[in-house]
């Protein structure tokens, strides 16, 4: 029996028609994969998949003893009704040939794949809105009402389009892989060396630079919160700014010990709620207090036309800086399961649409209401939060001021977790690649402590980093606005001279040109107007 079973599995070309007992036997047609395996969760959730070379143990089957009519082999196309085939076939083809990297089960971004559209909305909202929204009215002081609102609207639509591109590029039907990290997709599209050259610095800048900025803003705002709550009744000696940075960093490091991206979904929800809370509180309070006396809405013009042009470009960089977060979209989507009937891009796009509807409901009122209330008087350093304390500290109740400060601190703590996750993932991947095993818990804890205090050191050494919003926006602009367009052209290969082909070429080229011009103009403005440079002396 074992010998006959072996012959059936080897599938000889000429079927044997007689056995020892003289009973005719017809060889069963070979089946490459049991149909039940196609719907198994292990194909998408387990990092270890058996290849199609027959590595997996084969089930024991009995040789039929009576002649049977040969059946038509069960094909994949027969599993799906014809009207679903155009949707089902590409995804099924991708999943059939997908073989996930075993290391994905050891890294914090892809360690857990039980995310859903709600988790996606929480993470996207927490990373898409934050303290960068507070400086948007500063851009309108240079651009004015008309061009400021037009620029903000176009930037919002543009980045929403590139988000759609990234969500649909996450799963490659042709290659049969899931690109779980932005840098991984860049490497697969442009080549490993070119991809790292183009995207490594902006992505690291967005992760480590954003975390450093959050320490600066969170520590400073924590000090303000203490002063508002304590008031004149405090007799204790107040802590210095560096000490507040240290307090904030310690709290952020403790929260960062959560193992993976899915485990911080609750933290992202808190971060999203607090971001919506302080944005709404600031613009409603500012509008309720009315426009300041002597407010002026005329755009600020520099001495020469060249200086004016550079100021306009720097303001566009501030707008671009408000729409960061694209470097986390693929990472967020990679936490979701993906199957033949339920590909991950469907719930991911639902979460993105909901989160960006909320983001629009925060950014546009913040920008328009803030500029209407303060006009040219809005402080360039700190934006709306500084303006609220500077102009209304005696008009607004301490409860509102304290609640707003508290929301900013909590949001900064929560945003630190999601922006630090790519850095944690990259450092742990260095260990898993060399040692071929997951990081022990003590090493994972040390990595996150090291990253947190490295950002703390940079924040103390370069405390004016938060004033470089225009420069940061110019550096990060290709990641948000340009690279996804070129990735779509390279991967999907739309028909030449079609609408999709022309749109992506235009937006991608425009994004790269804008990035170069914005970086140059931001450097010029920094050199010309000056920045309060105070190394190792945070105020």
Residue with tokens 């001021």, as numbered in its chain:
401
Say if residue 8's pLDDT is above 80.
Answer: no
Give the Cβ contact number of residue 28 at 10 Å.
Answer: 17
Is the model more confident about 95 or about 441?
441
Average pLDDT taken over every residue of the chain: 78
pLDDT of 531: 57
Angle at alpha carbon of residue 386, lines to 384 and 390, rounded to 5°: 115
pLDDT for 279 beyond 60: yes
Q: How confident is the model at residue 254 (pLDDT cuts 50, 70, 90)?
A: very high
Looking at residue 466, its pLDDT comes to 59
pLDDT of 465 reads: 62
Q: What Rg, from alpha-carbon coordinates, does the chain have? A: 28
Q: Which domain holds residue 354?
A: 95-527
Q: DSSP letter for 480, please.
A: I
Q: Which residue has the higher pLDDT, 131 or 430?
A: 430
pLDDT given for residue 13 in this prediction = 44
Confidence band, pLDDT 50/70/90 cuts, at residue 448:
very high
Task: Dig out the tokens for 78 from the structure.
Answer: 């027969």
Tens digits of per-residue pLDDT, 304-331? 777 788 788 878 888 887 877 677 889 9
492 part of a folded domain = yes
Which pLDDT score, from 0 to 100, does residue 296 have?
85
298 within 8 A of 376, measured Cβ to Cβ: yes
Q: What is the rounded CA–CA span in Å between residue 470 and residue 525?
A: 9
Q: What is the DSSP string of 64-90?
A: PSS--PPPPPP-GGGGS-GGGHHHHHH
CATH classification of the domain holding 328: 1.10.4160.10
Asked if residue 378 has pLDDT above 70, the reply is yes
Query: What pTM did the predictor assign?
Result: 0.77
Compare 504 and 111 and report the one with higher pLDDT.
504
pLDDT score for 51: 41
Q: Let me know if residue 209 belongs to a domain.
A: yes
Instruction: Let me know if residue 274 belongs to a domain.
Output: yes
Q: In the predicted model, what is the mean pLDDT of residues 492-510?
A: 92
Instruction: Place 9 in a pLDDT band, splitting at 50, 70 and 90.
Output: very low
From 49-53, 123-127, 144-148, the region with the lowest mean pLDDT: 49-53
User: Helix (H, G, I), strand (E, B), or coil: what is residue 533?
Assistant: coil
Q: State yes or no: pLDDT of 457 exceeds 70.
A: yes
pLDDT at 436 over 50: yes
Q: CA 46, 447, 473: angle at the middle one, nearest 5?
A: 90
pLDDT score, position 285: 92
Neighbours of 497 (CB within 10 A): 8
Q: Is the pLDDT of residue 154 over 90?
A: yes
Q: Which pair of structure tokens corresponds to residue 178?
A: 């899931």
How far is Cα 397 from Cα 374, in angstroms, rounded to an integer? 19
Least confident of 79-93, 381-395, 477-491: 79-93
pLDDT reported for residue 130 = 77
pLDDT (mean) for 178-198? 87
Question: Does 472 or 14 have the greater pLDDT score?
Answer: 472
Whether 137 is in a domain gets the answer yes
Which pLDDT score is estimated for 532?
57
Task: Count structural domains, the chain.
Answer: 1
Q: What is the pLDDT of residues 65-119, one digit of tens each?
A: 555 544 444 443 344 333 333 444 444 444 443 345 667 788 888 888 888 889 9
446 is written with which tokens?
């040390």
CB atoms within 10 A of CB 198: 22
Contact 252, 452 (CB under 8 A): yes
Is residue 76, in this structure, part of any structural domain at all? no
More confident residue, 311 or 27: 311
Q: Give, as one character, the DSSP assignment of residue 342.
A: S
- Give the closest residue to 15 by CA, choosing from 31, 2, 29, 1: 29
How far CA 41 is from CA of 114, 215, 302, 334, 344, in Å, comes to 11, 41, 62, 15, 13
Does residue 224 fall inside a structural domain? yes
pLDDT above 90: residue 364: yes
Confidence of residue 25 (pLDDT cuts 50, 70, 90): very low
Between 111-115, 122-126, 143-147, 329-333, the lowest mean confidence (pLDDT) is in 111-115
Give percent of the chain above pLDDT 90: 29
**Which letter does DSSP use for residue 131 in this model?**
G
Contacts of 361 (CB under 8 A, 6+ apart): none
Of residues 18 and 129, which shows the higher confidence score? Answer: 129
In a domain, 178, yes or no: yes
H-state helical runs in 64-191: 85-97, 117-128, 136-169, 182-190
The answer as to whether 40 is a domain residue is: no
């Amino acid at each position: 029996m074992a010998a006959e079973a072996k012959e059936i599995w080897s599938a000889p070309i000429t079927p044997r028609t007689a056995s020892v007992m003289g009973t005719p036997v017809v060889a069963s047609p070979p089946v490459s994969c049991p149909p039940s395996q196609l719907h198994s969760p292990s194909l998408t959730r387990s990092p270890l998949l058996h290849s199609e070379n027959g590595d997996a143990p084969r089930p024991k089957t009995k040789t039929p003893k009576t002649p049977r009519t040969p059946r038509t082999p069960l094909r994949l196309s027969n599993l799906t009704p014809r009207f679903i085939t155009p949707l089902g076939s590409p995804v099924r083809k991708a999943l059939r040939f997908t073989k996930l990297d075993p290391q994905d089960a050891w890294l914090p971004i892809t360690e857990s794949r039980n995310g859903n559209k709600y988790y996606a909305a929480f993470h996207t909202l927490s990373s898409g809105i934050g303290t960068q929204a507070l400086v948007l009215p500063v851009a309108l002081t240079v651009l004015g009402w008309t061009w400021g609102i037009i620029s903000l609207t176009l930037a919002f639509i543009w980045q929403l389009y590139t988000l759609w591109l990234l969500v649909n590029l996450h799963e490659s039907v042709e290659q049969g892989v899931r690109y779980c990290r932005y840098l991984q997709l860049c490497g697969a599209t442009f080549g490993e060396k070119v991809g790292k050259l183009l995207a490594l610095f902006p992505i690291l800048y967005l992760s480590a630079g954003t975390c450093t900025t959050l320490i600066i803003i969170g520590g400073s705002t924590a000090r303000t919160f203490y002063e508002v709550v304590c008031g004149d009744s405090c007799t204790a000696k107040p802590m210095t700014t560096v000490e507040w940075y240290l307090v904030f960093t310690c709290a952020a490091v403790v929260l960062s010990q959560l193992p993976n991206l899915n485990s911080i979904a609750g933290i992202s929800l808190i971060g999203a709620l607090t971001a919506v809370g302080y944005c709404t509180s600031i613009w409603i309070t500012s509008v309720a207090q009315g426009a300041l006396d002597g407010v002026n809405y005329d755009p600020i013009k520099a001495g020469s036309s060249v200086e004016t042009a550079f100021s306009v470009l720097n303001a566009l960089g501030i707008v671009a800086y408000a729409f960061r977060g694209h470097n986390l979209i693929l990472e967020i989507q990679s936490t979701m399961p993906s199957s033949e009937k339920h590909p991950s891009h469907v719930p991911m796009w639902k979460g993105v649409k909901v989160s960006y509807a909320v983001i629009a409901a925060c950014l546009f009122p913040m920008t328009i209401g803030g500029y209407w209330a303060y006009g040219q008087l809005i402080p360039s350093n700190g934006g709306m939060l500084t303006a609220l304390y500077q102009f209304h500290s005696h008009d607004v109740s301490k409860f509102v001021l304290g609640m707003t400060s508290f929301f900013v601190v909590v949001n900064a703590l929560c945003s630190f977790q999601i922006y630090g996750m790519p850095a944690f993932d990259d450092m742990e991947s260095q260990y898993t690649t060399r040692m071929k095993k997951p990081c022990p818990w003590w090493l994972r804890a040390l990595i996150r402590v090291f990253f947190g205090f490295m950002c703390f050191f940079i924040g103390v050494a370069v405390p004016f980093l938060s004033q470089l919003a225009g420069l940061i926006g110019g550096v990060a602009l290709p990641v948000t606005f340009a690279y996804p367009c070129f990735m779509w052209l390279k991967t999907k290969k739309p028909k030449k001279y079609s609408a999709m082909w022309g749109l992506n070429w235009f937006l991608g080229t425009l994004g790269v040109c804008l990035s170069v011009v914005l970086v140059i103009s931001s450097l010029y403005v920094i050199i010309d107007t000056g920045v309060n440079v105070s190394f190792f002396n945070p105020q």
